[in-house]
């Protein structure tokens, strides 16, 4: 397990953009007892070795919830890392395919990393570091996928608003927000309450399971997965970056943002002890880069502009202390959200690709 967990540290040791995970959490994450997604999956951890040295790794799994929901026989891989050696990548892929075929799967999709909560290989945007819980990889991983017979399943996009590049919230949207709230006096905005964190997490959970039900790759989020995500985000929760829009007191949409913890993790090398946790505790309040992780509105309220209203409120509340906001991930065919972000003058800066292929003999 130590070889599996710490292999990326050696692989990326000369890459100034890579950010380590929290190693203390990572060592416990690849177990059904401590990972909500793996708790309802069959899985195997693979290592590729050469003369006793690790040259690659992959987590291969069958998510029973996904296959029951879609009536599918799809296997997944994640946590893929490999040196620039195609035979090693091929060996990992062939072994994964054999393992999945033996369990009745007819296709494989990935990377979808059930520990890091990240989807896809970075395909565009190698010149900037990743935000917290977003993928990062060498460009040659995409070449591996092509040579291994994978095709695109879906691209995920990231948009950015950077004050260093001159970004400002367009003035017309401030007027839009005022008019929208005036037309609908029952609507109101409120930020996250740390005192009622579980209540607000329930609101995010209930809205998500309705609002994004038609999104590609969606699987109903169970309570265990919600609490697992909450545990990851709680230490860096910033009430000014999480907003709800309510209709007569009922939450009908949310924008979920958080500071980019990767900035601190790079500084402390992913080690919380002996003093790294203090830098997280106190340093996160000084971080000026943020990620917009999720934005959702109940279907009956879509088309009103509540998504734009939420973004405006989030950006306004962080105004004066934010340097960069990255909205990540956006499905390539989610025209509504893409149009909203582009009208807000956000710039497309990154893309990630999820791959898929039919397993041999299927």
pLDDT in tens, 89-135: 999 999 999 999 999 999 999 999 988 788 999 999 999 999 999 99
pLDDT in tens, 6-34: 999 999 999 999 999 999 889 888 999 98
Which own/partner pairs from 197-203 qualify as long-range (CB within 8 Å, at least 24 positions apart)? Answer: 197/230, 197/234, 197/237, 200/242, 200/244, 201/226, 201/227, 201/230, 203/244, 203/251, 203/254
Q: How many residues does the chain have?
A: 362
pLDDT in tens, 241-261: 999 999 999 999 999 999 999
Q: Please give the domain boundaries of the chain with CATH numbers for all domains.
A: 2-156 (3.40.630), 161-351 (3.40.630.30)
pTM of the predicted structure, to 2 decimals: 0.92
Tens-of-pLDDT digits for all 362 residues of the chain? 999 999 999 999 999 999 999 998 898 889 999 888 899 999 999 999 999 899 999 999 999 999 999 999 999 999 999 999 999 999 999 999 999 999 999 999 999 998 878 899 999 999 999 999 999 999 999 999 999 999 999 999 999 999 989 998 888 888 888 899 999 999 999 999 888 888 888 898 889 888 887 888 888 777 777 777 777 777 788 999 999 999 999 999 999 999 999 999 999 998 888 778 888 878 888 899 999 988 899 999 998 999 889 999 998 899 888 899 999 989 999 888 898 899 889 999 999 999 999 998 65
């Amino acid at each position: 397990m130590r070889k599996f967990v710490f292999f990326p540290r050696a692989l990326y040791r000369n890459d100034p953009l890579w950010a380590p995970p929290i190693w203390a959490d990572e060592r416990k994450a690849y177990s059904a007892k401590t990972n909500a997604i793996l708790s309802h999956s069959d899985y195997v951890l693979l290592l590729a070795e050469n003369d006793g040295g690790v040259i690659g790794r992959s987590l291969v799994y069958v998510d029973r919830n996904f296959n029951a929901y879609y009536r599918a026989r799809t296997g997944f891989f994640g946590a893929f890392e490999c040196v620039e050696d195609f035979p090693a990548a091929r060996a990992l892929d062939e072994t994964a395919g054999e393992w999945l075929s033996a369990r009745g799967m007819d296709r494989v999709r990935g990377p979808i990393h059930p520990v890091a909560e990240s989807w896809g290989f970075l395909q565009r945007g190698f010149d900037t570091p990743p935000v917290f819980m977003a993928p990062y990889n060498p460009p040659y991983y995409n070449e591996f996928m092509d040579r291994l017979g994978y095709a695109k399943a879906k691209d995920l996009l990231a948009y950015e608003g950077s004050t260093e590049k001159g970004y400002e919230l367009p003035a017309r949207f401030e007027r839009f927000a005022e008019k929208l709230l005036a037309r609908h006096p029952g609507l109101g905005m409120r930020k996250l309450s740390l005192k009622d964190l579980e209540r607000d997490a329930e609101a995010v959970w209930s809205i998500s399971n309705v609002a994004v039900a038609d999104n590609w790759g969606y699987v109903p989020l169970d309570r265990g997965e919600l609490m697992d995500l909450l545990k990851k985000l709680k230490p860096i929760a910033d009430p000014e970056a999480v907003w709800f829009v309510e209709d007569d007191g009922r939450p009908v949409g949310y924008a979920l943002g958080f500071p980019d913890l990767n900035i601190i993790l790079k500084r402390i090398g992913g080690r919380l002890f002996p003093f790294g946790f203090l830098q997280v505790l106190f340093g996160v309040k000084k971080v000026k880069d943020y990620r917009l992780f999720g934005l959702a509105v109940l279907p009956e309220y879509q088309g009103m502009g509540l998504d734009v209203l939420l973004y405006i409120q989030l950006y306004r509340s962080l105004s004066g202390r934010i340097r960069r906001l990255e909205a990540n991930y956006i499905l390539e065919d989610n025209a509504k959200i893409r149009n909203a972000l582009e009208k807000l003058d956000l710039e497309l800066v990154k893309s990630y690709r999820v791959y898929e292929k039919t397993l041999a003999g299927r």
